[in-house]
């Protein structure tokens, strides 16, 4: 399978590429009042209005001062979400069997890439949002 790696606070994370629709440069975000803490606002992309998620927060990283340069637009069923990240790193080919679950919890998967352990965002984890 292929994964898309990206940077948050100088740390590498990954996402299954089949979940990804496109990646986009940063664009103006329209703030939305009274919404969940991890929703920064809304963007308009290719005719759709998409909520922007502060990816740091859902990954339990409380650094709120991130400068989000890129958006990863993902498909979750019929819904689209924009994951705000610092930087897109690469597209990598990995063996599916190298994915490991932590504490037998399928929500937290890690993958070993070039002897670096990277947290892999999964469909289940994202579906919770």
Partner 1 sequence: MIRKLNNGDLDLTVLEIKDVIDTKLLQTFQDNFAVGMNIASITVDKDGTPVTKSSSYTSFCMEFTQSTKVGENRCALSHKKGGEEAAKNLKPSIYTCHAGLIDFAAPILIGDYLIGTILGGQVLTSEPEEEKYRKIANEIGVNEEGYVDAVKKISVTNEKNVTAAAEVLYIVANALSKAGYEKLKLSIMSQTLSENFSQISATMEELSASSINVTNNQHNLSDEIVNVKKISIEINTILDSIKSIADETKMLGLNAAIEAARAGDAGRGFGVVATEIRTLSQNSKETAIKIMDLTNKIQESVDKTMDTSHATLETTEQQSAAIQEVTSNLMEVTTLADELNSMANNNKSYS
Residues that bind partner 1 (CB under 8 A): 2, 4, 17-18, 20-23, 25, 88, 90-91
Cβ contact 100:111 at 8 Å: yes
Q: How far is the CB of 90 from partner 1 (least distance, A)?
A: 7
Question: C-beta of 60: minimal distance to partner 1 in Å?
Answer: 26
Query: Residue 31, exposed/middle/buried by CB under 10 A (0-12, 13-18, 19+)?
Result: exposed
Give the nearer residue to partner 1 in terms of CB position, either 90 or 100. Answer: 90
Query: For residue 30, what are its two tokens?
Result: 């329209």
CA angle 61, 43, 49 (to 5 degrees): 120
Q: Which of 5, 109 has the CB closer to partner 1?
A: 5
In the complex with partner 1, which residue's Cβ is closer, 22 or 112? 22
Smallest separation, CB 17 to partner 1 (Å)? 4
Q: Other CB atoms closer than 10 Å to residue 23's CB: what's the count? A: 17
């Amino acid at each position: 399978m292929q994964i898309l790696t990206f940077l948050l606070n100088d740390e590498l994370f990954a996402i299954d590429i089949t979940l990804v629709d496109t990646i986009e440069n940063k664009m103006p975000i329209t703030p939305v009042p009274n919404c969940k803490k991890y929703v920064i606002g809304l963007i308009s992309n290719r005719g759709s209005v998409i909520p922007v998620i502060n990816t740091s927060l859902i990954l339990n990283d409380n650094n709120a001062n991130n400068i989000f340069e890129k958006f990863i637009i993902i498909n979750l069923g019929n819904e689209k979400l924009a994951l705000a990240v610092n930087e897109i790193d690469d597209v990598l080919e990995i063996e599916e069997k190298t994915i490991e679950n932590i504490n037998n919890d399928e929500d937290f998967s890690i993958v070993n890439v070039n002897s670096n352990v990277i947290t892999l965002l999964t469909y289940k984890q994202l579906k919770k949002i």
